[in-house]
Amino acid sequence: MARRPISHLSVAKPESGSDAPALACDVAIIGGGIAGLSVALNLPSELRVVLVTKHTLGESNTRYAQGGLAAPIGLDDSPRLHLTDTVVAGAGLVDEDAARILVDEAGESVHWLIEAGTRFDRRAQEHTESHMSHTLPWKQAAEGGDRRTDDLATGYDLAREAAHSRRRVLHAQGDATGAEIERALVQALRERPAVSILEDTSALDLLVEDGTCTGAELWHRERRLRVTARLAVVLANGGAGQLWKRTSNPKGATADGLALAFRAGAALADLEFMQFHPTVLVPPEDSSEAFLVSEAVRGEGAYLRNLVGDRFMFRYHPDAELAPRDVVARAIQSELLADGAVSAFLDLRHLPESEVRHRFPTIGAVCRRYGFDLAHDLIPVAPAAHYFMGGVAVDTTARTTLPHLYAVGEVACTGVHGANRLASNSLLEGLVFGRRAARAIAAESVRTLAQRWPESPVLTGAAVDLTGLVEPQVRLDISVAAQVRDNLRRVMWERVALARNASGLRSAVEALRQLAVQGPVDFETANMLFAAQAITTCALARNESRGAHYRADFPASDPLLAGRHTLVPARPAGAAQRHSEGPATYVHA
């Protein structure tokens, strides 16, 4: 279907003091991954929706998710077991009420995803009964409450990944799960006549009036544009991986949502928790590409070996290669430092070649591009920044502390991941809480939305003061500040990565402040500078090691800090609105 232009939306006269025309809608969604798409597709079809995406629709972190989507739908599985695995992996910081919602609504949400057109891989018929329940717990007969068989969701091939006690991970085309989900949801979205898509568009700032979020100021193909939203603005614009020198994230993961929300007056939480994926491909030559080798590879039996060929994970955790991600990532880093090596190695040579090639076609193709055979060679891997557990503080309906502003997916901190995310729970979170946000927006009146405030454990944490943060001057008429970004990413990788300490964090804060005052930068780099300073300040404030946050000077977890979140309180709404400088170039109505 052809892309719809934005011309059918209401075009208002510019507000006083603003030269940018305003597009009027009911709901504005910033971000086009599984979270944003799930919101858009679960809103009532008559609502006018504007979906803003930084690049082409379909280009998001979701697209690059290989491993799959976790859901407790196996015959030997249950939401209770999935919850237990999630809580254990989260290292004493999981909000169990939010996590219970995640696992309880997983089955129904997967069913919706399948009905929306997602094609997950199926098992051969003879193996179906050993992995899938004939009667699925989320589907009940309309009368009598008896469970019934659901043909749509039986027979799917379930994989096991690290720290999962059961096979519960759905996947598509072997290792292209995110791409398949994105394909299906984008196709479904293009069939919604009330949804308009703004591609190649970034959010400059959120609009706030009388303490309520009313829209967003956008940068649409070198021109300013304002969108006003009657009911809600939804942040769904992903994570912050590009703040680190090595990351599995695409170029757009520059922490925009954190900066937008904070400037508008919303609270943030748990910013010190960035997950580093243990196994990102290390190319033989210098390359900017950091290709993730899925957790599912180890789930299917791959070994990790060090420079001298030893399997080393048993020395670090009884689950060896299937230990939680934070444990595996730090173990690899320890081996690299001990050996003076640049990578550890994944070893699949003991696995049947046919299964390796069938299960991991995408990973195999990328390995071949760099001269490796996934089935026969040792594959060099090392940790890289992967997933942000912190974010904009929300409740279980995705509401932030700023009325009318919602946040879903990686940009949000629901508390379901705690200090370390369980593998394949990220797509599930975007799906479940995206649908919950849509229901909340549809169900509540504008007045009710404006008066109610979230209640969530992530809002009861220890407050961190960001008054020392330096915000750079921003211009819209300059190119990307490449040197500033390179220096920022180097500082974060060297001092705010897998192993941290007070002296390194303090020096990082000072280095980031110096970068912020060097001169005008583009708005995206400004967002990165804000987020880097905020993350580093929060990491300095948590004097313990927990999950993905490891302090070499406080190597143990503090029992008194279990369940205690780190909160960046909201500024007064709109107090920190940024005014970009540059030539006036505008959209013409």
For residue 208, list its beta bridge partners.
213
Cα–Cα distances in angstroms (integers) from residue 46 to residues 5, 12, 42, 350, in the given order: 18, 20, 11, 55
How buried is residue 145: exposed, middle or buried, by Cβ count under 10 Å (0-12/13-18/19+)? exposed
Chain-centroid distance, C-alpha 196: 23
In whole angstroms, give the CA distance from residue 214 to residue 199. 21
Query: What is the rounded distance in angstroms from the CA atom of residue 570 to the CA atom of residue 208?
Result: 13
Token look-up 């929306």 returns 116
The beta-strand segments (E) located in 236-331 are 268-269, 274-281, 303-305
Q: Whole-angstrom Cα distance, residue 110 to residue 128?
A: 18
Biggest CA-to-CA distance, the chain:
69
Cβ atoms within 10 A of the Cβ of 339, count? Answer: 14
Q: Is 325 a catalytic residue?
A: yes
Q: Which residues contact 85 (CB under 8 A, 6 or more apart)?
A: 163, 164, 165, 422
Give CA torsion, residues 215, 537, 396, 204, to 10 deg: 10
Alpha helix ranges (H) inside 73-176: 79-89, 96-104, 106-115, 128-131
Tokens representing 68? 């799959």
Distance of CA 353 to the CA centre of its chain: 33
Pairing between β-strand 224-235 and β-strand 22-30 as defined by DSSP bridges: parallel
Q: Which tokens go with 306?
A: 């060090």
**Rounded Cα–Cα distance for residues 429 and 410 (Å):** 8
Name the one residue in this structure whose structure tokens are 């076609």: 361
* CB contact at 8 A, 399 and 452: yes
Tokens of 349: 């040579």
Distance CA 354, CA 374 (A): 11
Q: State the burial class of residue 4 (Cβ atoms within 10 Å of its Cβ: 0-12, 13-18, 19+).
A: middle
Q: 325, 485, 546, 551: which one is catalytic?
A: 325
Beta pairing partners, 207 = 215
State the Cα–Cα distance between residues 253 and 569, nearest whole angstrom.
23
Angle at Cα 264 formed by Cα 262 and Cα 268, nearest 5°?
Answer: 25
As a whole number of angstroms, the distance between CA 107 and CA 136 comes to: 8
If you write DSSP's letter for every residue of 166-229 in order, what string do you get? S--EE-STTT-HHHHHHHHHHHHHTT-TTEEEE-SEEEEEEEEETTEEEEEEEEESSSEEEEEE
Residues involved in catalysis: 325
